[in-house]
Amino acid sequence: MLGGATGANLTLAVAESVTCGHLQARIGAISGASNFFLGGITAYTLEQKIRHLGVPRELAAPVDCVSEQVAIAMAQGARRLFGADIALATTGYAEPAPAQNIAHPFAWIALAAAGGDGGGGKFFARRVDSPATLSRVAAQQHITAAACDMLMDFLQIWPAPWGRLAPSQK
């Protein structure tokens, strides 16, 4: 997948919350995944996102760990944790949460990649909205598919995607 789509030998890592392992399972089901997939982590709670991915508490706590910035921090943390060229991250709500005023499932997905800028690399993120009628598992699968689509979009324009991806490109 990663080498074949681009001709490059890129490695991938994953940080999941809302998808709770679905993304890792989907990537791991690809024949030859061991050639590019370094691993993943499901960091479901604030404390685990802080401990394993380096997500700043002051960034995540006020938004219940669900925001564009949290997804980006998770992707950057997974990239560092596994030493990968590219990392994907998911965070969100798999079902309505009336107490938090969440009417339908949604997530933020992010991709962080090594950059030639001498810094910490580049990243971009998208919001994924799921229909309120989806079950919890169906919403997780919908978000997983969107994250895979984001990765494939990125790989199709690698190695110089930063001026051509939207929204939330950085």
The verdict on residue 111 lying in a domain is yes
pLDDT of residue 156: 83
Q: Are the C-beta atoms of residues 72 and 99 closer than 8 Å to each other?
A: no
The verdict on residue 99 lying in a domain is yes
Task: Report whether pLDDT(83) > 90.
Answer: yes
pLDDT of residue 160: 55
- pLDDT-derived band at 2 (thresholds 50, 70, 90) equals low
Lowest mean pLDDT among 43-52, 108-117, 136-145: 108-117
What range does the domain containing 82 cover?
2-157
Measured CA to CA, the distance from residue 160 to residue 165 in angstroms comes to 10
The verdict on residue 167 lying in a domain is no
For residues 16-43, give the mean pLDDT. 96
Tokens representing residue 75 in the block: 């992707």
Domain count along the chain: 1
The verdict on residue 166 lying in a domain is no
For residues 5-11, give the mean pLDDT. 66
CATH at 151: 3.90.950.20
* pLDDT tens string 58-69: 999 999 999 999
pLDDT of residue 8: 60
Task: Report whether pLDDT(143) > 80.
Answer: yes
Dihedral (C-alpha) 168, 93, 100, 102: value to the nearest 10 degrees?
80
The verdict on residue 56 lying in a domain is yes
The verdict on residue 162 lying in a domain is no
pLDDT of residue 5: 44
Measured CA to CA, the distance from residue 25 to residue 40 in angstroms comes to 10
Mean pLDDT of the chain: 88
Counting every residue written for the chain, the total comes to 170
Task: Report whether pLDDT(76) > 60.
Answer: yes
The verdict on residue 7 lying in a domain is yes
Long-range contacts of 162-170 (CB under 8 A, 24+ apart): 162/115, 162/122, 162/124, 165/124, 166/124, 167/124, 167/125, 167/126, 168/68, 168/124, 168/125, 168/126, 169/124, 170/72, 170/122, 170/123, 170/124
Q: Amino acid identity, residue 100?
A: Q
Closest CA to 66 of 99, 94, 24, 27: 94
The verdict on residue 164 lying in a domain is no
